[in-house]
């Protein structure tokens, strides 16, 4: 893929998915719900909320993109959509690792899940051509990293990741609109 064709595919994918902002928004809401569930019912229930909510991110994001933004389907961006699908495989492996940790080290399960989600966002820079995804991935890793070493933030990590993603969704949407 040439630099020009990559830029065209990124522009097309960003147009089709509103820069990815709706998916980040839905993910942020899922993390906030998981944070509330974690507070009320514990780690196992929060993990279940993340798992079920995580399966809803793409379809709900698509619904928002098509209804609120009247975004067309991608045409040129198809090779990058394939990359996005391929990047989901490590996410599934991460979910499996986090699930194993629920039994062996429950305090690490959700921070590991958050770190995997944060690391995956770095790929979105290539998908959408927006460096804001590096900032989003880095911010989530900054939230998740210390908790992996026993630091307990004032809010549980579900709330923190949710807040980071909601702020990022607003920034990404603003950046997408300013380029469109």
Give, to the nearest 10 degrees, the angle between helix 106-128 and helix 88-104: 170
Per-chain mean pLDDT for the chain: 93
List the structure tokens of 172.
């990404």
* Spans of all domains in the chain: 3-179
pLDDT by residue (tens digit) across 151-177?
A: 999 889 999 999 999 999 999 999 999
The confidence score (pLDDT) of residue 59 equals: 95
In 28-50, which positions are buried (b, 16+ CB within 10 angstroms) versus exposed (e)? bbbbbbbbbbbeeeebeebbebb
Radius of gyration of the chain (CA): 16
Q: Which pLDDT belongs to residue 76?
A: 65
Dihedral angle of Cα 36, 134, 93, 34, to the nearest 10 degrees: 0
Phi and psi at residue 5, to the nearest 5°: -70, -30
User: Which pLDDT value is given to residue 77?
Assistant: 61
- Residues 43-102 have pLDDT tens digits of 999 999 999 999 999 999 999 998 998 888 878 667 788 888 888 898 999 999 999 999
Which residue has 């998740």 as its token pair?
Answer: 144
User: How far is the C-alpha of 105 from the C-alpha of 7, rounded, in Å?
Assistant: 43
Q: What is the pLDDT of residues 21-33, one digit of tens each?
A: 999 999 999 999 9
pTM of the model: 0.94
pLDDT higher than 70, residue 1: yes
Predicted pLDDT of residue 70: 87
CA-wise closest residue to 159 among 20, 39, 54, 45: 39
Segment 88-144, tens digit of pLDDT: 898 999 999 999 999 999 999 999 999 999 999 999 999 999 999 999 999 999 999
Decide if 19 contacts 130 (C-beta within 8 A): yes
């Amino acid at each position: 893929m040439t630099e020009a064709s990559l830029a065209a595919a990124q522009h097309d994918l960003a147009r089709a998915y509103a820069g990815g902002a709706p998916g980040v928004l839905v993910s942020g809401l899922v993390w906030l719900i998981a944070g509330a569930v974690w507070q009320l019912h514990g780690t196992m229930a929060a993990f279940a909320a993340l798992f079920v909510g995580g399966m809803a991110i793409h379809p709900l994001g698509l619904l928002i993109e098509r209804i609120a933004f009247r975004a067309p389907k991608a045409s040129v961006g198809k090779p990058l959509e394939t990359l996005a699908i391929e990047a989901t495989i490590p996410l599934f492996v991460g979910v499996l690792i986090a699930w194993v940790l629920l039994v062996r080290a429950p305090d690490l399960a959700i921070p590991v899940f958050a770190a995997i989600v944060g690391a995956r966002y770095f790929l979105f820079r290539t998908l959408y051509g927006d460096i804001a995804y590096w900032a989003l991935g880095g911010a989530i890793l900054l939230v998740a990293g210390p908790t992996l070493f026993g630091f307990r933030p004032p809010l549980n990590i579900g709330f923190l990741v949710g807040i980071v993603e909601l702020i990022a969704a607003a920034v990404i949407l603003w950046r997408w609109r300013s380029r469109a």
